Structure 1
């Protein structure tokens, strides 16, 4: 794992997202599962229970892939990054509507876009030598 940026990022991001998802339940007691507004995590990120579950599942996928190997880490980092890119963009249009089932706010959009850029960049750009060596073998 020390030589793979994808594995390292997957494990770190995965662990952080799982912890964030679990902490989110502390601020969402009494909030409806798919409420369009929710509790404030760290005072800036709006979350509801569905949002917390999503963080735990996404974090778990990143964590497991990061621990499994370079190829799964690259695949999951890129896939999660692409999903976060779409969510980050779409989120701006969802706020204030009934479709905002994750209780997103502007801080969430910025975090999702930043996560997307890093995950896609690492997933696509890092650990290329490991892939090319494997393709030649």
Structure 2
């Protein structure tokens, strides 16, 4: 039996977002929430609230990827939709007090790229395996 694309993407993205969340905790310093943050990898602005969000999203993706195809597909679509919204709205939050996650342009691009992969995988792949599961 081959690995489901949704499970594979959810597991990989989950592990990466968990790692990013943990690494971000070490660089965020005293920045808990708000528009100011420290740079992770010299590019991505983070604060502790942003890191907690990465940890929660990473855990949801990883657990869904380990659980099964239907779960991974649902979480991929949900997280992808949230990231699409955040990637677009984020451009308008920079420089305002509403930017409580300390988002910057690099974050927006990463969120939009993640949204494309997660939504694309969740909406387009594993259709045939779902149909096979229904007939089996």
Normalising by the smaller structure, the TM-score range is over 0.9
Taking structure 1 as the reference length, the TM-score comes to: 0.96
The answer for the alignment partner of 2:6 in structure 1 is 6
Alignment of 1:63-78 (within 5 A): 63-78=62-77
| Structure 1: segments with no counterpart, 5+ residues | none
Give the superposed CA RMSD: 1.1
Q: Using the alignment, how far apart are the partners of 1:109 and 1:23 within structure 2?
A: 19
The answer for the alignment partner of 1:101 in structure 2 is 100
Q: Using the alignment, how far apart are the partners of 1:61 and 1:122 within structure 2?
A: 16
Asked if structure 2 preserves the Cα contact closer than 8 Å seen for 1:36 and 1:103, the reply is yes
Taking structure 2 as the reference length, the TM-score comes to: 0.97
The Cα of 1:135 is off from its aligned counterpart by 2.7
| Structure 2: segments with no counterpart, 5+ residues | none
The answer for the alignment partner of 1:81 in structure 2 is 80
Asked if structure 2 preserves the Cα contact closer than 8 Å seen for 1:17 and 1:56, the reply is yes
Secondary structure at the aligned position of 1:40 is classed as strand
The Cα of 1:64 is off from its aligned counterpart by 0.2
Q: Using the alignment, how far apart are the partners of 1:62 and 1:2 within structure 2?
A: 19
Asked if structure 1 preserves the Cα contact closer than 8 Å seen for 2:8 and 2:65, the reply is yes
Q: Using the alignment, how far apart are the partners of 2:19 and 2:103 within structure 1?
A: 18
Alignment of 1:41-60 (within 5 A): 41-60=40-59
Count, aligned residues: 136
Q: Using the alignment, how far apart are the partners of 1:51 and 1:43 within structure 2?
A: 16
The Cα of 1:2 is off from its aligned counterpart by 4.4
Deviation beyond 4 Å, 4+ runs, structure 1: none
Q: Using the alignment, how far apart are the partners of 1:2 and 1:18 within structure 2?
A: 25
| Cα gap change, 1:46 to 1:127, in 2 (>3 Å) | same
The Cα of 1:82 is off from its aligned counterpart by 0.2
